[in-house]
Structure 1
Amino acid sequence: MTSAVLFDRPGAPHVLRFVPVDRITPGPDEVLIQVQAAGVNNADLLERRGLYPVPPGAPRGLGLECAGTISAIGRDVTDWKIGDEVCALLTGGGYAEEVAVPAVQVMPKPRGVTMAEAASFPEVACTVYSNLAMIAGLTAGETVLIHGAGGGIGSFAIQWARAIGAHVITTAGSTAKTDAARELGVLEAINYRTEDFVSRTLAATDGRGVDAILDVVGAKYLQRNLKCLAPDGHLIMIGGSMNPTTIDLWELLARRASISATMLRGRPTAQKQAIVAGVTREVLPLIETGLIRPTIDSIFPLSQANRAHELLETGRTIGKVVLERDTHRPR
């Protein structure tokens, strides 16, 4: 037997239980990872509440990213071997002592980082890279508006954009979070609770606007985001409220702008393979050289995932919350 964090019904963090489960055998194209650490994401909170659509065939349990050691490989896997230290983008099941994942969604653990740090970035790195690099095509010298500076995605997106030479404007909901963003080198850090991000963004860009926006708020910000876009700008929506809302098409037409809405978890494996390959090729070197530093707010034992969820739900965290395998448990 092995153990995993599961829940029988949607609810508050207390529904999470660390329980024994059957061992896993990897499929032909999969590897089995002995999990040392797993990242906690807002999507996990939504799934626990019953508010997140789980893709068909996803592994049971929460957890979209992990780091650990490969302990078994499927018969068709040739790029990995038992004992490799890796991190991985998951479709679920990361809150566990072991997880099976398609081999094409696995990356080598970057040199110079801990297992906890390695577990904190696969989901956010793949989200940021697939949207800002592959869809928006953000390049050096361009300007991007990143909402949610204090979150795992926001803190990573800021660092990635800065590392490729882009200028960053960001929003956050507290002075502590805007201060943390300034330490990462942003052009402007705007407290959305006390300031109008549209006027501040336009002022910071001399009225031109930004080339790309990464939005985690959704419907509430749609029209205001459009006002921030430069000609040929691209708005990418990756979360938040998806309630019906109106849109001023003239704002879109006048700017020759475009809007994308994406979810990473439900993408086909072939798309995830291309994203993971891009992150391995272009993002991991930035982590290994220190241009991107995994930002961790707190670490909890895997058996205390409920406490990790309680903390993340406060909205006070800066960076990622991570679960680590309980060191006192037999392996």
Structure 2
Amino acid sequence: TALIQLCRIVGAIPYAVSQLDKADALRVLGAEAVIDRGDLPTFVERVLAATDGQAIDAVMDLVGGEMTDLFIDTMIGDMQRRTTYPRLSIAGASGGNLSEIMWTRIYLYQVQIVGVSHGTREEAEQLIAWIRSGELKPVLHGAFKLSDLHQAERYFVNRGSNYLGKIVIVPDAQWDTHGAPFAITSAEEPGE
């Protein structure tokens, strides 16, 4: 959810890969289109249909596994029309640590592959500035007390990716009498 907003902040056009039940919320956050990650044999075709046949310039791969090679396929296009090299940033492996990749496509299409874990202090300060200004709105799915950490972990594991936003752990002392954390707001406040 943050990545979609960050793309819009810096002027990029984000396309999201998710379950279709999250599509409306992702479009509200700024996704140009949402491509269902189901039906893998037609994934690349559906991405190219969403982009009017244009290859994707950059991918942030949070999934890994069999999706990585498919993401590379979405970035391969007419090299005559490109002004930059395609860039694949790897930042997760929820779909598996092993990916089978056709390496010839990496060098023939000059795909740049970068591992991403965390940024610089300056980048963190910029993120905080965007949050403070309201340009970047953290999306929260829910919160748990620190004393309920095991319950939060079970919730996270059992739900898999069937929720939208972050699950936050709040120190018990900061939990108000209504069962909600202090000073935490999300992109969509109740009633909006």
TM-score (norm 2): 0.76
- Asked whether the equivalents of residues 311 and 317 of structure 1 are also in contact (C-alpha less than 8 Å), the reply is no
Closer, same or farther: CA 262–283 of 1 in aligned 2, 3 Å:
closer
Counterpart of 1:303 in structure 2 is 147
CA contact (8 A) 2:91 2:116 kept: yes
Structure 2 distance, partners of 1:287, 1:217, is 26
Q: Could you tell me whether the CA contact under 8 Å between 2:19 and 2:37 is conserved in 1? A: yes
- State which of 182, 188, 210 in structure 1 corresponds to 2:33: 188
Q: Given the alignment of the two structures, is residue 234 of structure 1 paired with residue 80 of structure 2, yes or no?
A: no
Corresponding residue number in structure 1 for 2:171: 325
Partner SS, residue 14 of structure 2: strand
Mapping of 1:159-308 within 5 angstroms?
159-175=5-21, 177-194=22-39, 196-230=42-76, 231=79, 232-240=85-93, 241-243=96-98, 245-264=99-118, 275-280=120-125, 282-308=126-152
* Percentage of pairs with the same residue: 26
Considering Cα pairs closer than 8 Å and 6+ residues apart, tell me whether 1 or 2 has the greater RCO: 1
Q: 1:263 to 1:163 in 2, by over 3 A?
A: closer
Q: Deviations over 1:133-160 (max 9, x none)?
A: xxxxxxxxxxxxxxxxxxxxxx111111
Name 2:82's counterpart in structure 1. none
Gaps of 5+ in 2: 80-84, 176-192
5+ residue gaps, structure 1: 1-154, 265-271
1:262-312 Cα offsets, whole Å, 9 max, x none, are: 444xxxxxxx6xx122220x3222212211101111111110011111221
Q: Distance in 1 between matches of 2:165 and 2:121?
A: 21
For residue 179 of structure 2, what is the aligned residue in structure 1?
none
Q: 1:188–1:197: structure 2 CA closer, same or farther, 3 Å change rule?
A: farther
1:173 to 1:204, Cα distance in 2 relative to 1, 3 A: closer
Q: In 2 relative to 1, CA 300–246 (structure 1 residues): closer, same or farther, beyond 3 Å?
A: closer
Instruction: Calculate the TM-score normalised by the size of structure 1.
Output: 0.46
| C-alpha deviation, 1:328, in angstroms | 8.3
Output the aligned Cα RMSD. 2.1
Cα distance in 2 between the residues matched to 1:261 and 1:322: 25
Distance 2:114 2:56 in 1: 16
> Structure 1 residues 252, 262: CA separation in 2 closer, same or farther (over 3 Å shift)?
same
Q: Residue type matched to 2:28 in 1?
A: E
Q: Deviations over 1:87-145 (max 9, x none)?
A: xxxxxxxxxxxxxxxxxxxxxxxxxxxxxxxxxxxxxxxxxxxxxxxxxxxxxxxxxxx
Flag the structure with higher helix content: 2
Q: 1:71-86 counterparts in 2 under 5 A?
A: none
Structure with the higher fraction of residues in strand conformation = 1
Find the aligned partners of 1:328 and 1:289 in 2 and give their Cα distance: 24
- Structural mapping, 1:21-170, within 5 Å: 155-170=1-16
The one-letter code matched in structure 1 to 2:64 is G
Instruction: Give 3-state SS (helix, strand or coil) of 1:189's partner.
Output: strand
Letter matched to residue 138 of structure 2: P
